[in-house]
Structures are given as C-alpha cells and as structure tokens.
Structure 1
Amino acid sequence: MCDASDYAIGAVLGQRLDKHIYPNYYASKMLNDAQGNYTTTEKELLAAVYAFDKFRSYLLLSKTIVLPIIPRAFSLPKEIREASSYTVDSSAFRGMTTQQKKKFFRDVNQYVWDDLFLFKIGGDRILRRCVTREEGLDILKHYHEGLIGGHHGAHATDQKVFDCGFYWPTVVKGAMEFVRCVMRAKEQWVEAQALATNDAWVVVKFLKKLFTHFGTLRAIISDRGTHFFNTVMEKALARYGVTQRTSTTYHPQTNGQVENSNRGVKIILEKTVGVSHMDWSEKLDDALWAL
C-alpha cells in the first residue's frame, strides 16, 4: 500500500495471512521542491514507483498488479455519462420501463472503460478488470492448482481472484462449480503400485510419494493391518500432521469406493494377464488407466 500528500510519500509492505494483512516494512520520503509541484495524480504515481523501488528485492519473481483505490465520492463526469448515453443505440431501450432504464444507467456508473479494457468499481472502491467466462475459467484454474495455488475451497479461490484484480459476473458461482468438479475428479482418482512386500517401511515410502504429488492430507483411513497400524506409520504421519483413522473390527471395509476400485482393478488384471499370472505388475498401469 502506498499514499502521497503535499509534503511526503509513504509505502507499507504487508503479507496476507488468514485473511488478515500484517505490515512487515514501512518506508517514507519527503518531497523536494520540484516534486511538491506535481499534481495529485503524479504524486500518487510517484509513491507507487517509490514503493516498487524500495521493495524491489521482495517483489522479484512475483506477479504484481497496481490497483488504484477510488474515493467514495467518485463518479463519472456528467459529460462522460451524457456521451455514453448517445453511444448506445436507442433501439436497445425499446420495450424497457422507466425503472429498468434507471437501473441500467445506475449499473453503467459502476464500470469504467479505459482504452481496451473494461473495469468494475467494487464495493471496496477498487478497480477490477472485467474478463470473459472463458478467461475466468483459466484464471480459476491458475489460482486453484497453479504455482501460486493451494487447492483451496471455493471462497478462498474467488477471494484470490478479487485480490488480484479480476471480475466477471459469475465469479463466485464459477469458483464453486470449478472446485466441485476438481473435488469430484480427485475423489475418484486411484493410485496403486506393485510392491514386493507390504511392511511398514514400504507403505510409508508409498505415502511420501503421494504427498509429493498431491500434498499432505488431513486424515488417512485404513484398516487394522499390521502394515498400516504400527509405530513407524504413526511417527511418519505425525511428522506430516496427518490424522490416522482406522476401521472397527465389526466393519473393516471403511470406504466402499476404495473396495469398488480394488475390485475393478482385480477384474481388469484377471482379463489381461497371461496364463502364468506373473506379468500382473506390468499390466497394473494399464489397468489404472482403463479404470
């Protein structure tokens, strides 16, 4: 954040954590005689340039978007509103009531056209660039599973979109549908590996491979087999902050979807392996792909 006055400019470097912004660095500078004669807009831009120069080492290799804060008293000039009304064909208002026309022009005042881009003035008085639904889908994918994504929920994902200065009318609904589709695909994803033994060390090594690809889990559900329920497994999961949940003696099949997946892999292998059944490990990847 940066701001300017008639005598000085200042900037604050903050970090967002748990939906709150915590300041990490403060910087300010007095204006000289020449800079004091700048217009208000030039002073604000000078503060932004000063902030980028001062915090350059922290902003390298990161995407940075400058979002101007619009005062609450801001509104489009009367000449622009009148000119914009003439750019719309009169046939567009044919059949509209007086209330619908008023609502139309009231909604128009929430947007600003700047050269090639259309911006929406949000409730926090920040300009956000309007994009199409197709572009919005790519943006959601980037902020959900990209390099800066964290596979967060729908609310955190659409909040990231707003914080980075993008807007389209269905951004909240689009985030919910996108995250729902991703979760449905993840829930049906099957990972399997052919192992020579099923001791605790082999299972822990396999789980570490999963954590590398998909991230750590909140909880893992398993039966009470000795290769899952042991001290080595308990220490490994505690190191990664994963809760282990085991089945009961009366109902060892804790997850019906896992049982169905195992049954499907078994059926595919029975139809594809040779007579000796010695090549089942080589056919495992093909069975997972077919599943």
Structure 2
Amino acid sequence: MCDASDYAIGAVLGQRKDGLVHVIDYASKVLNDAQRNYTTTEQELLAIVFAFDKFRSYLIGAKLMIVHKAPWFADIANFKCSDGVLRRCVSEEEGRGVLWNCHNSRYGGHFGGDRTAAKVLQSGFFWPTLFKDAKELVKSYNECQRTGNLPKRNAMPQNFILELELFDVWGIDFMGPFPTSYANKYILVAMDYVSKWVEAIATPTNDNKVVMNFLRKNIFSRFGVPRALISDGGSHFCNRPLEALLLRYGVKHKVATPYHP
C-alpha cells in the first residue's frame, strides 16, 4: 500500500493470509524541495517507485498487488501522449463560465476581447479557441455594446505632474511668540517639501530682515537656490525687500491660502 502527502510519502509491505493482511515492513520518506513541487499525481507515482525500490528484495520473483487510494490509477497507467504530462481539459461549459467571470464579474472589468483572454491566461486556463471565444463574448454582451468606448472629445485634459527634486521647494513660517529665552521670542522654520528636511533658528523678532538673512545663510548657501518658496501672507514674507531678493535669485514666491498651506 502506498500514499503521498505534500511533505512525505509512505508505503506498507504486507502479506494476505486467510483473508487478513499481515504487515511485514513500513517505509517512509520526507520529500525534498523539488519533489514538493510535484503535482499530486506525480507524488503518488513517486510513492510507488519508492516502495518498489525499498522492498525490492521481497518483491523480486513474487506476485504482488499494489493498493493505491486513487481509483483512477488504471487510467493514469494507460495514459499516453507526446510529452507524458497530465492535463485537465476545460469543457465547453466550463470555458463559458471562465470567460464570463473574467469579463462580467466584479473583478472582470468588462475589457475587450484580447484583454479578457489575457485575464483567462493569468487565471491558469487555456484552450485553442480562447481568443476567438473571448471576442465573441464581448461582441454579444449587451451592456458593453451599448456603452462602447468613451469618446476622447469629451475626456478631461490630462495635466502633467510637477516633478520636484530635493530642496526645490521650501515652506517657511514663524512660530511664536514664546516666553523670552536668551532674548529670543520666535522660531523661524523652513521645511523641504520633498525630503521633509527642517531648518530652524531662534530669533528675537519676526521681521523681513530675519527672513532674508535666514534664506541667505541657512538655505541658499547650504542647499542651493530653490525653485519656489511657499509662505503665508504675513507682512514679514510679503514685502518689497524680500520680493526683490527672490527676484534676484530667480525664486518663485507662492503665498498659501489661509488654513490650507
């Protein structure tokens, strides 16, 4: 008697006497990584080969009977084809069901014939007239024919996504006033929009001179001139000296909407 599982195979050698089977020997083996990838049929056949090899000295010259749990073993033994690989054939009714699910179900997407056939292949099914059947299904499906393709004339224009590099865009703002500490009451904070890198200084005032010096010493000289600077509409950011500085360096100043930076 032979049997196989996903991880091991086993065999029992017995002798029938007075209608009862008496066990002579047991044998088992753990499957290796390659054998675990075998199909169920191949693992079952591997168990038989293993039993023959293990009990060879008992079986030579003796009449024997193999007891196997698979009732279709005789069909497997007599199966013949060009490459010897067993395949499960998809019936016509099953093929229609597979096509319907790959086209009309919630995960189908109602795609065209070629795309629907590709989904069938991805699901692990194939038959010679697959692409032809898929196109016929799409042509005969009422809802798809009524909807058709969306006209490009009424489609919304696609806008290009702005590509940013590190330190291309900075956001800047004041925090405070806080209780005085070492003569400082405010914190000027700038953050890079891509890397989220933060630069900050403590300052006694929150005027435009502090902002201009901060940009020169902490941003422009260390990270290069950015493409844009985003701030709120406070007077320390929206003033002529700062606008002149940004214009000189070619930095675009963007003012954020209140409460929506």
The two structures share one fold, judged by TM-score above 0.5: no
Provide the TM-score with structure 1 as the length reference: 0.24
Higher helix share: 1
Provide the TM-score with structure 2 as the length reference: 0.27
> If you compute each CA radius of gyration, which structure gives the higher value, 1 or 2?
2
